[in-house]
Structure 1
């Protein structure tokens, strides 16, 4: 079955057109990412800004033309954190429907977690589990524990865009802003630990653009190279060092990094801090229980999970 999956988050709008075989094998035909910052200001105002809606609609029009070239049998437009929070989301729904002919499916945090887990673990052997998948978005971050299926999941109301707007709306944050952001992160993690057993995983899987961008930095890539990032193994100290480096740079220096997408420049420092703190807390819990955590990065995530789920549900 040929499917088209759209993932609209707080920061990016992505498209995957793929053929899904009966055995669940997914073959990419087209994969696109645009930074639209739909969630601009939503944390403070509770509404989508007019310019954010127009950026999103402009990319949706572009994607509609791309999808028409491939004639997918089924489409699904998944909208996540920002769309759950905005009071004027009906305006967003109407605009997307007029462009693509489908109503955005605003998924719950639990559904977002399930789709992320499906996309991240579809090709991994169960012997590597239990898995803890972290989907670090612009507005929310999901932690999902399971082996074959989701066993526990939590959606935290923090992400690269929210943390930037709340605590780091400057080029280079100072120590007090970083401490305040860490306090926010730790409070969310304390709550998440009541739902997800941080000591349980054998393999930690980080997904989404913030995570893969930071991985490109850890690997020292001279451009964004998906094939080198996918499956990469990292250490807690590697990520911590990269996060500290990003926090110390000004906007111009971050923009000059050869693997950096322009749309991530102003939120990547907060995202790196969040990524670093999460894996440090998880690794600490695993080690306290006598285990050893394997930290890997995946380029397959909620977008792939949406495509796979769409094919399964319509087969």
Structure 2
């Protein structure tokens, strides 16, 4: 069957269309996305304003049209931290349902971490052993650890690259004092969680998902996305530590000229790099492997798991 997953994230609204059925690997057929940056549309009360809701509804309608054009039989819609943390989330969800017919399921941060972990586990397989999975989104950082498909520990921290950029790094280029303050904040937040994971022992593989890690790995020399999903891509902490001061000295426009960095993500790449560097340092990670699958694939896999096979 042709299945669509509609992801209302902090940065983008992304429709991923796959050909899938229970027990089989989902094959991507189409991708439709729009940059909305919901996390940056919150007003001083933490609410998504009328203009933001109107734009969200318009983008969802575009996604539904794309899904229909591509012959999608079933759509799984969900939202993450930007909607979850909006003070008017219930009103936004009701308006979306009234105007589009889409009933968004709002994932908790822990659910995000668990579903992302599921995607990584299915991608790497049982032979990968114990996995530590890191995912940097626009609004939050997810961390999960385990040996099975359900992680033994899963947490979500408010350390998304978009959120941190808007709150901590107003300058272009960023002010060194602001960068230092953000670095201190990021590491204090991550350090509080390290003990929860270290009691399980060292992981056999450390895995990273998300656009931020893919871009950082590309900067450090990993293969281009055009070379395919199945080429192993890694990010070494030493390479990342070399890149952080270079990114800090650049303007947003200069970062957008770097290989693998999209114009829409260039502004938040420094904050994402500080989170990635802090996580790798505090968890004692020298090298991590980049996983092509992430939250959207985890949602698809869980949906397929609950479909009848007969």
Report the TM-score when normalising by structure 2: 0.90
Is residue 81–residue 139 contact of structure 2 (8 Å, CA) maintained in 1?
yes
For residue 41 of structure 1, report the CA deviation from its aligned partner.
4.8
Contact 2:135/2:208 (<8 A) preserved: yes
Which moved further from structure 2: 145-154 or 42-51? 42-51
Determine helix, strand or coil for the equivalent of 2:284: helix
Measured in 1, the distance between the counterparts of 2:136 and 2:44 equals: 20
* Separation (CA, whole Å) in 1 of partners of 2:258 and 2:229: 17
Distance in 1 separating the partners of 2:230 and 2:216 = 10
How far did residue 53 of structure 1 move? 3.0
Change in CA separation of 1:54 and 1:219 when aligned onto 2, cut-off 3 Å:
farther
Residues 151 and 157 of structure 1: CA distance in aligned 2, closer, same or farther (over 3 Å): same
Q: In the aligned structure 1, how far is the partner of 2:80 from the partner of 2:5?
A: 13
Q: Distance in 1 between matches of 2:185 and 2:42?
A: 18
Q: Structure 1 residues 41, 170: CA separation in 2 closer, same or farther (over 3 Å shift)?
A: farther
* Structure 1 unaligned spans of 5+: 285-292
SS of alignment partner, residue 187 of structure 2 = helix
1:304 paired with 2:297, answer yes
Partner of residue 234, structure 1: 235
The one-character-per-residue Cα deviations of 1:159-188 (angstroms, maximum 9, x if unpaired) are 101211221111122322112111211121
Can you list the C-alpha shifts for 1:82-107, whole angstroms capped at 9, x where unaligned?
11110122343234324652211011
Aligned residues: 306
Checking the alignment, whether the CA contact within 8 Å between 1:224 and 1:260 is kept in structure 2 is no
Q: Contact 1:64–1:99 (CA<8 Å) still a contact in 2?
A: no
Match of 2:131 in 1: 131
Quick one: distance in 2 between partners of 1:313 and 1:41? 35
1:133-282 equivalence runs, <5 A: 133-149=133-149, 150-197=151-198, 199-219=201-221, 225=226, 227=228, 231-282=232-283
Compute the displacement of 1:258 (Å): 4.3
Task: Report the CA distance between 1:297 and its aligned residue.
Answer: 0.5
Taking the aligned partners of 2:14 and 2:243, their CA distance within structure 1 comes to 26
Unaligned 5+ segments in structure 2 are none
For 1:71, the equivalent position in structure 2 comes to 71
Report the counterpart of residue 287 of structure 1 in structure 2: none
Write the distance in 1 (CA, Å) between the matches of 2:227 and 2:178: 32
Q: CA RMSD in A?
A: 2.3
The superposition leaves residues 255-295 of structure 1 with CA deviations (integer Å, 9 ceiling, x where unpaired) of 223422222122111111111111122226xxxxxxxx651
Which one is further off, 89-98 or 240-249? 89-98
Which stretch shifts more, 106-115 or 56-65? 56-65
Q: What secondary structure does 1:262 align onto?
A: coil
Provide the TM-score with structure 1 as the length reference.
0.88
Task: Check the 8 A contact 2:139/2:160 in 1, yes or no.
Answer: yes
Distance 1:68 1:142, change over 3 A: same
Look up the match of 1:45.
45
In structure 2, the partner of 1:86 is: 86
